Chain A
């Protein structure tokens, strides 16, 4: 089994961040951040020349209302909207009024038999566009202004590696190292000083005529012979060595089959950090069966497509890729390529925005492998006990590559059952048993162990 140990990662991360921090200083990054803002205002002023609407407001409205189905330069559920106003005017001879009517109530227009409305409706698989009666004409103007503005240049993906962003985490590590380094330096100086003092004293002694006697060492038995002759010492050290060996052998054997830190390479590089961390998607949105089943379930690809139908490319986090990401090759192109892998597996034809039906199930490498003779039920822990996923799975929202956080040994399970109080509030099932048992044990809060959570047959059958 391929193991990528957790600590290696941390070490690498630390090393790189140290390197990066030493290379660049903070002022550089401040300049960098200022640049995009300036670019934006520039495009905005350009746009305002052409249309009555406010593209800045339009962008906000567009993202709120339209972005789920439309992109500017790309067909999605609905058509690409860049320059839609001028395009309609030129190609179809339709004015703004048509657009107002269409956006506010498209089904009515289709029903009324409008030619172009029906053409669009049929072209996009008869997926009716949501009616937006709440948008005022002004709002629509704003949106149209935004769509008429030249599409913003793609964000710089190969940005110059910048420090600063990862500041705090790396910074604290560095300061520790600095302190340590300083300490080493101080000690070194101390040692040198001691030598100097010593030699100075010797010179003074010589100068004052004191003779320092040299010890006589010739007749002494070598220390190993003395050791071999002392049978008691030999016995004690043999016992000691055996105990040490046993200790390490035991330790080694106990980790056999424990795959803590196991982080296999997956067929699609799926980043929990981006999904659960950056975008704060609730774990159980994808792992929905954890609520009701013993399995947490790996989400089926149709669940991915709920979002990835519209999210077809990775635009990066707002601050741009971090140097460590770049060091690993996690560029925006890289992630976008992974999204394409998903499309291939699920059989999604991007250009025509439809499923081809040619699917290719993804063979994920299973990370958490409980032996078959151990029964574990997610819903018991997630729904009944209300335990956070992170309690066992660790900081998933920070994991670029998912790994096994807990040892998943029986001792680990048992320990938690001993320490954790059962959540009984508001659960009618526990009412009677909790009342009787807590009286019996004389406690207010019962642990899982006290409720029978240590019995063999609860997990082994």
Chain B
């Protein structure tokens, strides 16, 4: 203590050196300015779970593209001599009831399911956005009528309408697409409408209107970019839903049918031999679960990243 006091007393003004003048303006932000997207990405990157999911999905994507060709087998033509072959160096995951390499088929099936999910999501988002924004933009009687139509569609239990359409149109990829999409855009349209209703009141849209821009241009240029966050989230959470639905429908015989290959069909075929050749059920089911899991976790991460409330 005493020593310290002595030291303090010993300090003289010459002991201090002025390094430099405070030159920063007082209104400078504490943090470097970051755009909404950059910030969201930064937060997403910090989320370990979400990033792991993203990496897993990336791996799946690679496998979807190259997986079927890795083994170089013909995964379509029946090879009776390999019926239900067990896992081996030749067939990594075994062979199916018609003796075809399950590893190759698994990735083809995943590809089909994935593509169906992506296309359905695209349809859902595009139709939902258009419908929702038209509703919100025009308001009044247009909004009223379109809202009623939307309510009618929403009111039919989605499972029923999907099955009805599959029966009416037959088993094909196209009818599956129609069946899965027919009602799925409704929630998107609602959300988009709600968002745009808020944005409409904002000054820059009023300014654009005052400048005489055409409604479509306003929707595309000003309104949609503002709801991108919500849409990205919508996409991330919709894809696993579609993968699930496709698998479910194919499983009960109302989705795709052989010779098509999809995750649902593979699981369906696997379940038929689940007692004697459980590998045929486990691997497709595991791919389905992991893929859906990854999308769900990524969705969670995106929700946190894109939600301005969490912005620190």
> Do chains A and B interact in one complex?
no
A-binding residues in B (CB < 8 A): none
B-binding residues in A (CB < 8 A): none
